[in-house]
Structure 1
């Protein structure tokens, strides 16, 4: 009977041993009460490296590290298993070849029916790969946390699914001003403006992020101190493995300074474009005015000669006078174009603005009419400015007339002035002292669009045939040519103010009226006239011959030099300034090398920057009259 009962038990033991030996992913072995290894399976052999014959009879503590053995961990593991019925833990263990592996260990005590400890069953699993993955993940998380915590230019933080702040990086603290303890747990809508909160912008942000997978936008946000900043915001939803919304990652960047810098750059580009456009139009206007001045020189010169030689027929005389008035109106137009192009001839002298305005007060009253009241508010110690008197009077009259047209039902024009010290820097004015002349009206004013175009050439709001559109651009060009600045300020229904910034005259300058040129009797001369325009050449020659002078004409600088060399009796040279191949200035230099004492007059249709000998020569501005010729010849022959 006893043999029959023992046979199944032996069979089961064999089967159990075969099962344990077949396991290769776990080290399963037995140790006696003293920790001596009494069995060894294939799994233990695979990842601990010992053959069964090498390890049986050895103490299991040899698998522990030296530090763990010195700390008594092997015995504590057995004591824990006896005391608590099981020991379970993780730690580093040592293979036969000395390498370490991370393992999960379970030790169970084995007792016989009487309660006597027979030994321990020990199961060890190699978790090195999992441990290394965890370490890599932990290191990555630490690096990411350090990265986020080191970012100060971006606010990076997490939101719960309902929008509450769950963490806070230094960038968020720097940009928004809140400490972590002040903001964690609060709803992120606290950063929005009241208007955006009322419009449900925070909720819409999260809804879009969930629906579209991301939210990105720009908008105004609030700091702790109540100030606002322009923010670029990105919100990304965070989903769990099961598709559950875990929260949101939010990145905010303060782009206030960047946006302002971009806007300033755009404004600078626009100003540069405007300046280039005005320069191109100015060059075009100056060129047209120059050619037009040549035509007017011919027309006025011939009309002047005809006027002297016609009979006393009043009809013919009236026709000539009418044609002359039309040509003079053309002169006025070319002067405006040259003023806009900053190429008119200016005679700058010290000018007292109060005296100038007082001097044209009668003309102002007759031009403005009884419905417009004029007030002047000038300080007694206002310094004189450097300006061309005639051109400044024209500019003031022009601006006053514009003010009158902006007040169809009457109003007030106020003239005032103040002295300002400009240090340069951001201002377009050079450093120095300036008088700012203000001409303010109580008229209709201009909207932003009209104001932006007001100084463009040929722009007018007066209707067809009622204005050339060169008035304000003429003032602008004239003031800029003086080294000043013209500023126009206006608001719709609030009037307009024109500011003329004029350089103060140097100390010691005395504002005096310009002396009138006295007519001097000039003997008959042999005059060499040079101009590449045949019509101007003929007209000038006729005017001189009518005065009794002998004229030699040349169509170019090269031909003029030939004639000058062959005609020793030439007393005077009148040459056009702007000529191809050889300019009037170059011709003057060449003539002075031959005969330094011969007088030379430069005729020009616009102001030009001259250097050397040409800078000191008398000028004849086109178009000119016979009287102008007489005066400039008298000046040159002194």
Structure 2
């Protein structure tokens, strides 16, 4: 038991007095029934600034504001406490120095054993800081509401956990057409198209936001009037302090104008591309027409002279036969260049040692460019072999050397460089259709005049040339471009006016230890007497078919002919014996490759010759790798055709 001075035990009343006087965070004091202060603890003195001597005997109403005193608030508080047994409220109170503080007040009536009111107990706490924090929060919320409501270019609203709308800003009303009273409580999926709702798109967005914290997308949304707009949408998950999902914040922006502008830009680009393509096609067809009309004139004129001389009995026609043959050869070369550009020339890729190839061509290149140009080769010692058509690589090198010579009319230096290079995924992605991997880079650089940007941009276009009329077809670089792409590589040009030109040819590395392709049958220059055998000729062009059939029959072969794949399959399904199938690749309907595949299934040992005006190796690789199969490119001399037939029939 607590004791006082001298060890005297404290009375209950004294202990209570000590307790009250030790409380400093609460003002605890007593009033008589009329509101006169009768006691005063240190907490009151700290809150209100009065000492006990200054305030005991004074009316407690002096702590209230003037307005509250005039309104009778102190008396009403005592009356409520007396009648209801308690009064509790918050309000402004005044300190001795006149400053105010926000007080939480409790007044309890005090009664004696007989129930007579003998006074009041009053407890006051200073909660000004809490009041200020609440007011700051309210002001912040009010400002935020004003901010959200003031935003008219964005729809900003909230959803509950199931997707129902819980509030709505003016931007949402402006964008979607619904007033707040029309839409709050409705499910947000009503803004989506019927197709999106059927596919569950709205709830997928909520699930993604719940799982990852955020969902962002673009898509068509509906207004109240049924019209559509293209929306940029962000949905954020809202969680309480314990991490529990309480709803979603949804921000939508109408970006229809931007989408329409993008679509218009794409349409403009497409139209520009189409215009450029049509210009290139026009230039291409014009170039083809110009060159082929010249060739047809030479061939037709030669035939007319031959026909006249045969009719009049004049026998000197060899010069005109030679002229016609020369024109045919030129037409063949022109066609091959066109096919190279379109990546449809028949290639014969093989393992090629680039160092050996360049060294073997050096003398020819030096003679071609002349003495005024110094030729230098820089080939890596361990240069990788390439997988490409060696003849096409040689043609490309010579073509680039001639171009370099023309760009250095007063002499200069031509550098041929070869290095190994590995293209990673990023580097390969810069060129459409190019795969990552090992490549051999063959670079031909000159110190010539260079190309201006407008010429460089069109360098690969067929028939585009800066040379005077009649001094170039404009197919050289386009042929190299097509050959490189068809070979699985690509070509790039760097050029600057006055600083020369560099053409870089990237060709895939060969991983074959040796060139394992089958050794082609040697074709003699002149046809031998054919071995007796039966040949099926499938060709849809009547004149070509007639020439092939007649030539074979003249040599004593038994010939069957078909004008399309269906007729060929009928013959192949018959019991007649066939030793060799000669078929055009580009037959209408059932292609030559399909005819050959069926023929192989019916007659596994059948020998096959493909004839083609163009070919994609990727399509014919399977047949080309099969035994007893050859591919001949049109136009082919009849003598060479007969020699190949001879060789095929004689082979085991």
> TM-score under structure 1 normalisation?
0.55
Which of 532, 535, 538 is residue 546 of structure 2 equivalent to?
538
Q: Which residue of 2 aligns with 1:197?
A: none
Cα–Cα, structure 1 residues 533 and 94, in superposed 2: closer, same or farther, change >3 Å?
same
Q: Which residue of 2 aligns with 1:636?
A: 648
Which of 57, 62, 73 is residue 48 of structure 1 equivalent to?
73
Deviations 1:461-506 (A, max 9, x none): 2243333322112111112222222121112211111112223333
How far did residue 393 of structure 1 move?
A: 1.1
How far did residue 549 of structure 1 move?
A: 2.9
Which of 485, 497, 500 is residue 502 of structure 2 equivalent to?
497
* SS of equivalent residue, structure 1 residue 426: helix
Which of 605, 618, 634 is residue 622 of structure 1 equivalent to?
634
**Contact persistence 2:421–2:438 (CA under 8 A):** yes
Distance (whole Å) between structure 1 residues aligned to residue 596 and residue 66 of structure 2? 118
How far did residue 606 of structure 1 move?
A: 1.7
Q: Which residue of 1 aligns with 2:604?
A: 596
Q: Which residue of 2 aligns with 1:154?
A: none
> Which moves more between the two structures, 133-142 or 352-361?
133-142
Distance (whole Å) between structure 1 residues aligned to residue 587 and residue 81 of structure 2? 118
* SS of equivalent residue, structure 1 residue 624: coil
Which of 509, 531, 545 is residue 514 of structure 2 equivalent to?
509
Q: Which residue of 1 aligns with 2:318?
A: 317
* SS of equivalent residue, structure 2 residue 614: coil
How far did residue 556 of structure 1 move?
A: 0.9
Distance (whole Å) between structure 2 residues aligned to residue 395 and residue 40 of structure 1? 102
Q: Which residue of 2 aligns with 1:442?
A: 447
Distance (whole Å) between structure 1 residues aligned to residue 413 and residue 77 of structure 2? 117
Cα–Cα, structure 1 residues 315 and 514, in superposed 2: closer, same or farther, change >3 Å?
farther
Distance (whole Å) between structure 1 residues aligned to residue 585 and residue 517 of structure 2? 31
**Contact persistence 2:490–2:506 (CA under 8 A):** yes
* SS of equivalent residue, structure 1 residue 392: helix
Q: Which residue of 2 aligns with 1:385?
A: 386
How far did residue 509 of structure 1 move?
A: 2.1
**Contact persistence 1:40–1:52 (CA under 8 A):** no
How far did residue 441 of structure 1 move?
A: 0.4
Distance (whole Å) between structure 1 residues aligned to residue 510 and residue 142 of structure 2? 73
Q: Which residue of 1 aligns with 2:357?
A: 356
**Contact persistence 1:37–1:57 (CA under 8 A):** no
Q: Which residue of 1 aligns with 2:100?
A: 89
Q: Which residue of 2 aligns with 1:610?
A: 620
Distance (whole Å) between structure 2 residues aligned to residue 132 and residue 65 of structure 1? 15
**Contact persistence 1:620–1:628 (CA under 8 A):** no
Q: Which residue of 1 aligns with 2:58?
A: 34
1:337 equivalent in alignment to 2:344: no
Q: Which residue of 2 aligns with 1:254?
A: none
Distance (whole Å) between structure 1 residues aligned to residue 483 and residue 136 of structure 2? 78
Distance (whole Å) between structure 2 residues aligned to residue 329 and residue 377 of structure 1? 35
Cα–Cα, structure 1 residues 510 and 132, in superposed 2: closer, same or farther, change >3 Å?
closer
Distance (whole Å) between structure 2 residues aligned to residue 513 and residue 561 of structure 1? 28
* SS of equivalent residue, structure 2 residue 559: strand
**Contact persistence 2:384–2:509 (CA under 8 A):** yes
Distance (whole Å) between structure 2 residues aligned to residue 374 and residue 41 of structure 1? 108
Deviations 1:442-464 (A, max 9, x none): 00112333222212333222243
Distance (whole Å) between structure 1 residues aligned to residue 107 and residue 426 of structure 2? 80
Cα–Cα, structure 1 residues 360 and 135, in superposed 2: closer, same or farther, change >3 Å?
closer
> TM-score under structure 2 normalisation?
0.54
> Which moves more between the two structures, 330-339 or 441-450?
441-450
**Contact persistence 1:49–1:97 (CA under 8 A):** no
**Contact persistence 2:523–2:647 (CA under 8 A):** no
* SS of equivalent residue, structure 2 residue 100: strand
Distance (whole Å) between structure 2 residues aligned to residue 625 and residue 342 of structure 1? 24
Q: Which residue of 2 aligns with 1:552?
A: 560
Distance (whole Å) between structure 2 residues aligned to residue 55 and residue 572 of structure 1? 122
Distance (whole Å) between structure 1 residues aligned to residue 517 and residue 622 of structure 2? 29
* SS of equivalent residue, structure 2 residue 606: coil
Q: Which residue of 2 aligns with 1:580?
A: 588
Unaligned runs of at least 5 residues, structure 2: 1-54, 110-127, 149-261
Distance (whole Å) between structure 2 residues aligned to residue 511 and residue 407 of structure 1? 42
Cα–Cα, structure 1 residues 385 and 457, in superposed 2: closer, same or farther, change >3 Å?
same
How far did residue 424 of structure 1 move?
A: 4.1
* SS of equivalent residue, structure 1 residue 610: helix
Q: Which residue of 1 aligns with 2:395?
A: 394
1:562 equivalent in alignment to 2:570: yes
Cα–Cα, structure 1 residues 511 and 395, in superposed 2: closer, same or farther, change >3 Å?
farther
* SS of equivalent residue, structure 2 residue 444: strand
Distance (whole Å) between structure 1 residues aligned to residue 133 and residue 512 of structure 2? 86
How far did residue 439 of structure 1 move?
A: 0.9
* SS of equivalent residue, structure 2 residue 620: coil
* SS of equivalent residue, structure 2 residue 58: coil
Cα–Cα, structure 1 residues 478 and 313, in superposed 2: closer, same or farther, change >3 Å?
farther
**Contact persistence 2:351–2:512 (CA under 8 A):** no
Cα–Cα, structure 1 residues 326 and 601, in superposed 2: closer, same or farther, change >3 Å?
same
**Contact persistence 2:341–2:483 (CA under 8 A):** yes
**Contact persistence 1:371–1:411 (CA under 8 A):** yes
Cα–Cα, structure 1 residues 50 and 315, in superposed 2: closer, same or farther, change >3 Å?
farther
Q: Which residue of 2 aligns with 1:488?
A: 493
**Contact persistence 1:48–1:94 (CA under 8 A):** no
Deviations 1:74-117 (A, max 9, x none): 7xx4xx37xxxxx353434669999xxxxxxxxxxxxxxxxxxx
> Which moves more between the two structures, 333-342 or 502-511?
502-511
Which of 456, 461, 464 is residue 459 of structure 1 equivalent to?
464
Cα–Cα, structure 1 residues 327 and 550, in superposed 2: closer, same or farther, change >3 Å?
same
Q: Which residue of 2 aligns with 1:3?
A: none
Matches of residues 141-290 of structure 1 in structure 2 within 5 Å? none
Distance (whole Å) between structure 2 residues aligned to residue 625 and residue 47 of structure 1? 125
Matches of residues 8-157 of structure 1 in structure 2 within 5 Å? 34-35=58-59, 48=73, 54=79, 77=95, 80=96, 87-92=98-103, 135-136=136-137, 138-140=139-141
Q: Which residue of 2 aligns with 1:26?
A: none
Q: CA RMSD in A?
A: 5.1
Distance (whole Å) between structure 1 residues aligned to residue 529 and residue 644 of structure 2? 12
Cα–Cα, structure 1 residues 470 and 514, in superposed 2: closer, same or farther, change >3 Å?
farther
How far did residue 535 of structure 1 move?
A: 2.5
Q: Which residue of 2 aligns with 1:185?
A: none
Q: Which residue of 1 aligns with 2:474?
A: 469
Q: Which residue of 2 aligns with 1:403?
A: 404
1:527 equivalent in alignment to 2:538: no
Distance (whole Å) between structure 2 residues aligned to residue 568 and residue 332 of structure 1? 39
How far did residue 380 of structure 1 move?
A: 4.2
